[in-house]
Chains A and B, each alone.
Chain A
Amino acid sequence: MGRQARPGASPQSLYTIESKLQKPMRHCLYSPGSPSCPKMSSEQEHRYPWSHYTLACCRSGPAPPTLYVLYAVQIAVVTVLSYLSVVMLGPLSYSGISLFYFVYPFIIVFTMWWGFWGALAGYIGCVVGAGLMVGLPLLPSIAYALSDLVPFLVMFAIYRGVLARLGVDPLMRDLVDSDVRGYRARKGLAWFWFIVLNGLVLNALSAEIGVGIQYAMGLVPPDAYWFWWIGWFVGDFLAMVILTPILVKGLTSMVERYGLINHGWFT
């Protein structure tokens, strides 16, 4: 009865559950608050196609070296892209703030895929790529590069720990796809949280940490603080909105097919 489950759909996905429901009840999956719908069990509520992407620490047993090689290589990629961000589009403040830090969406996507390692790539990329390789001071870079670590760790925790239970894909596929492995994506909700959380809240946190640390170290003139803060915020926001959906659309399914997406923080 109902549609056949599509190849690749999780056997416990809502799509499969849908096929077992009576036809009039199928709408309940997409509007569970409707009075005519039976209350879903907690097991059903949590059976999204992304339920296996959690905030667990590690897998049981050692991880294959391919994964660690991948983590190392993606750090190198982010480092090179951080370098190009500063060199190609020019520094804003001459102390490490690029006009358009176009590596920012890469860090977002890599963190969603690889958890801690993606965020670490952002940190090392900022220190080495946008710092050492363009001749900017090492000590300040080590300090303010925390702006490329802390917000991404917070983002990963919120997406997998909270938003994933509310029907938002922690891999952000619902930004660009109408269905995710058989589950009808809630695009509006996904974009709402993407803009509010990543674009506004965490971007502001990143700017505050980055420019704030530079100000505390005496690298930013007092009267220019907000000018640099706004430059940081706007530059990252534009890069994020333009590039993140493209990266998600073009790469996430491939990375998932290879089995390379972390199920937890570290592996």
Chain B
Amino acid sequence: MEAGTSEAGRRLEKRSVRTFLYSMRIGTPVERLHTITKVALILVLSTLALHMFNIPVEEGGPDLVGLAVLLLIVLALLGAARVARYLVTSYLVLALPVLLGIFVWWLYFNRGLPGPGMQLYLWPGYVPLGLSTVVLAAALAILYLRTRSVPGPLAAALILWWLSLMPPALDESPIASWARIPFGAAVAVDVPRWALVVAVAKVLGFAVMIYSTFLLLLTTRDAEVAGALRQLGVPYRASFYASLVFRNLDTVMADYTNIRNAQVARGAMVARSGPLARLADLARISVPLVASMIRRSVEMGIALYARGFYSAARITEYRERRPFTYVDWAVVALLAALVVFDVVLGYRFDSMLRLAGYG
């Protein structure tokens, strides 16, 4: 009894628990939400983001204010879950080029929009020394200090530098270009003005969806998912097999790493660059990986047999069960209201802002 009490006491003193991607602090508002609520949250936020950035130009264009509000909500939730710092340090290099790439794609490959056009430089015909140089140096320094690597930060910094060269105002502004080094011919394209608004909207919408997905991964454990499936009435054996998928993710990743290291230790070239070379290297890893997968499955199956999983008429299950509290109901109700307000009734946040006298 005393051992059980002290063990329970130690467990109660635990401050963090392991999640899909990292770990989360116990006791935060987000950690207390039910898994179903968190899934509903990201589905609703994604739906709202998709709706807001897909509003046609003829109907007023994307709702930039609404997207900004959604992004602030997601960032606030990440902060409340105390995972924002991990997200920034680990995924900044991955997320930033993704968002910049989305901006560039939507700026230059969306020419069919109505309204007046504007000219943007693909290349101004010179290398400016000025504000854009400051942008390049600052971005590279900040990203390098955060990540301690060069390729990713350099790529992101160059994309930011290139974006700062695009406006034609670069030619006239003494702040933007203190000096110019002629290099190549100027290349400019005409894009609709609305393309800039749509590109910004897509970036905001993607950021909402990406960071809300991270919110789920950083604040949810695989045991919670299995427990949620049981609460939804999924049979025990089905939820057990579903939980096997999550439990084996780490194991399979470890197998992959071990096989790769073993092959490198035996002189196989599995670290070559180039996509075709990497494909060939992967082929060498794939056969032992699948073989180990089959061996592990057979062993687990035998272990289940030995424990009466197959033959038992009634199974005493141990599962994590989190109650659906009034906070969960309140969050779900709020999400439903947002969907009705924005998607069903078609109200816009920027219109509300104008009605309130701002803008």
Question: In the complex, what's the smallest C-beta–C-beta distance from A149 to chain B, in angstroms?
Answer: 16
Q: Is A14 an interface residue (CB 8 A)?
A: no
Shortest Cβ distance from B252 into A: residue: A80
Beta-carbon contact of A72 and B245 below 8 Å: yes
Beta-carbon contact of B294 and A255 below 8 Å: yes
Which of A62, A69, A99, A238 is the one whose CB lies under 8 Å from B301?
A69
**A253–B130 Cα gap in the complex (Å)?**
65
Which residues 112-154 of A sit at the B interface, judged by CB distance below 8 A?
A: 124, 131-140
Q: Is B298 an interface residue (CB 8 A)?
A: yes
Contact pattern, B 12-33, Cβ under 8 Å of A = 1, otherwise 0:
0000000011000000000000
CB-CB under 8 A from A138, the residues of chain B are 42-43, 46, 209, 212-213, 216
Contact pattern, A 229-267, Cβ under 8 Å of B = 1, otherwise 0:
000000000110011001100110011001010000000
> Is the contact region of chain A dominated by helix, strand, or loop, or is it mixed?
helix
Shortest Cβ distance from A66 into B: residue: B301
Beta-carbon contact of A76 and B241 below 8 Å: no
**A106–B293 Cα gap in the complex (Å)?**
13
CB-CB under 8 A from A61, the residues of chain B are none
Shortest Cβ distance from B98 into A: residue: A94
Which residues 196-232 of A sit at the B interface, judged by CB distance below 8 A?
A: 217-218, 221-224, 227
CB-CB under 8 A from B353, the residues of chain A are none
Q: Is A68 an interface residue (CB 8 A)?
A: yes
Shortest Cβ distance from A139 into B: residue: B46
Shortest Cβ distance from B94 into A: residue: A135
Beta-carbon contact of B293 and A102 below 8 Å: no
Q: Is B173 an interface residue (CB 8 A)?
A: no
Beta-carbon contact of A132 and B217 below 8 Å: yes
Question: In the complex, what's the smallest C-beta–C-beta distance from B192 to chain A, in angstroms?
Answer: 12
Q: Is B89 an interface residue (CB 8 A)?
A: no
Q: Is A13 an interface residue (CB 8 A)?
A: no
Which residues 285-305 of B sit at the A interface, judged by CB distance below 8 A?
A: 286-287, 289-291, 293-294, 296-298, 300-302, 304-305
Shortest Cβ distance from B243 into A: residue: A72
Beta-carbon contact of B287 and A69 below 8 Å: no
Interface size on B, residues (CB 8 A): 68
Contact count band on A: 35 or more
Which of A73, A124, A258 gathers the greatest number of chain B CB atoms within 10 Å? A73
- Among the 9-residue stretches B99-107, B140-148, B177-185, B333-341, the one with 4 or more Cβ atoms under 8 Å from chain A is B99-107
Beta-carbon contact of B47 and A139 below 8 Å: yes
Beta-carbon contact of B47 and A69 below 8 Å: no
Which of A62, A64, A77, A251 is the one whose CB lies under 8 Å from B287?
A251
CB-CB under 8 A from A139, the residues of chain B are 42-43, 46-47, 50, 209
Q: Is A88 an interface residue (CB 8 A)?
A: yes
Q: Is B315 an interface residue (CB 8 A)?
A: no
Q: Is A91 an interface residue (CB 8 A)?
A: yes
A65-B301 contact in complex given A73-B293, A137-B46, A223-B109, C-beta closer than 8 Å: yes
Q: Is B161 an interface residue (CB 8 A)?
A: no
Beta-carbon contact of B294 and A258 below 8 Å: yes
Beta-carbon contact of A72 and B95 below 8 Å: no
Shortest Cβ distance from A71 into B: residue: B241
**A218–B213 Cα gap in the complex (Å)?**
18
**Chain A to chain B contacts (Cβ below 8 Å), 27 pairs:** A62-B310, A66-B298, A66-B300, A66-B301, A66-B304, A70-B301, A74-B297, A76-B252, A77-B289, A80-B252, A84-B256, A100-B279, A102-B279, A132-B216, A133-B217, A134-B94, A135-B98, A136-B209, A136-B210, A138-B209, A139-B42, A217-B54, A218-B53, A223-B110, A238-B279, A247-B286, A258-B298
Interface residue ranges, A against B (CB under 8 Å): 62, 64-77, 79-80, 84, 88-89, 91, 93-95, 99-100, 102, 106, 124, 131-140, 217-218, 221-224, 227, 238-239, 242-243, 246-247, 250-251, 254-255, 258, 260
Given contacts A102-B282, A138-B213, 16 further A-B contacts (CB under 8 A): A66-B301, A66-B304, A68-B237, A74-B297, A76-B245, A80-B256, A99-B275, A133-B21, A133-B217, A135-B95, A217-B50, A242-B276, A242-B280, A243-B279, A243-B283, A243-B286
Q: Which 10 A-B pairs have the closest CB atoms?
A: A66-B301, A137-B209, A221-B109, A139-B46, A76-B248, A72-B244, A70-B297, A250-B287, A223-B109, A224-B109
Interface residue ranges, B against A (CB under 8 Å): 20-21, 42-43, 46-47, 50, 53-54, 91, 94-95, 97-98, 101-102, 105-106, 108-112, 202, 206, 209-210, 212-214, 216-217, 237, 241-242, 244-246, 248-249, 251-253, 256, 275-276, 278-280, 282-283, 286-287, 289-291, 293-294, 296-298, 300-302, 304-305, 309-310
